[in-house]
Chains A and B, each alone.
Chain A
Amino acid sequence: MTRADRGAQQERTTLAWRRTGLALGVGALTVGRLTVDTLGATVVVPLALVAVLAGWVVTSALRSRRLAREHPHDPRFSVLADARLPLALTVVLAVVGVAELASALARLR
């Protein structure tokens, strides 16, 4: 079904996942560090969630890459064939966004 990968699509996609996950981790830490001053210690809870999710995104992407390499002819592993990771990523970004929004609004008071 799945032919040998042309154009290193799988590799490029895995790299995109990896740098997105890492960027989210770093972004979450930065926003966390900055919003601790305005929002206080409550930001620790959402940020811990974000850190866990970001770590999961990176490890899942790596695992998926490994599975694709081990099963080159199994279509189940030919793509990250599921929406759970994208959803997790969206949630991570939204949580960071809400924290930052709260911090910006706190400035208005």
Chain B
Amino acid sequence: MNSEKKRWPASVYGRGTDPDARFSLANERTFLAWIRTGLALLAGAAALDALDLPLQDTVQGLLSALLALAGIVVAVTAFGGWMRIERAMREETPLPSNPAMPVVVVALVVVGVVLAVSAVLGGVVA
């Protein structure tokens, strides 16, 4: 086991001991699921940016920017979350939660409500 190649970052791999490989792999898949969630948010942002909706340009731009911001936050916290979970598993401490969850919920609720209202009002808003 002395042939361990250098694993980065030391803030994760320098602590504790390797957990069951299955848990590390599950952590990795959770991370990847967050990345795809972020990508979906960005796809929504791009759609809002490109589609012609019965919304004022400013409103549409703001909604799109909100989704894009949420996507960026999800991307960054996905990585931080992966590190913190891996570290917690190595040190056998309780698993932390992911702070991106409320961000996703708030962004989706705001965008959903505005889109629903605009759909009901039709062209009235524009």
Contact = CB atoms under 8 A, between A and B. Distances in A.
Most A C-beta atoms less than 10 A away, residue of B42, B64, B79:
B42
Most B C-beta atoms less than 10 A away, residue of A31, A97, A107:
A97
Interface in B1-56: 1, 3-5, 7-9, 12-13, 18, 21-22, 24-26, 28-29, 31-33, 35-36, 38-39, 42-43, 45-46, 48-50
Interface residues of B, number: 49
A69 to B, nearest CB: 15
A21 to B, nearest CB: 9
Secondary structure dominating the interface of B: helix
27 contacts: A1-B1, A2-B21, A6-B22, A13-B29, A16-B28, A20-B36, A27-B42, A34-B49, A75-B21, A78-B21, A81-B7, A81-B13, A82-B7, A83-B9, A89-B79, A90-B78, A93-B42, A93-B71, A94-B72, A96-B71, A97-B38, A101-B72, A104-B48, A104-B62, A107-B61, A108-B57, A108-B65
Interface of B: 1, 3-5, 7-9, 12-13, 18, 21-22, 24-26, 28-29, 31-33, 35-36, 38-39, 42-43, 45-46, 48-50, 57-58, 60-62, 64-65, 68-69, 71-72, 74-76, 78-79, 82-83
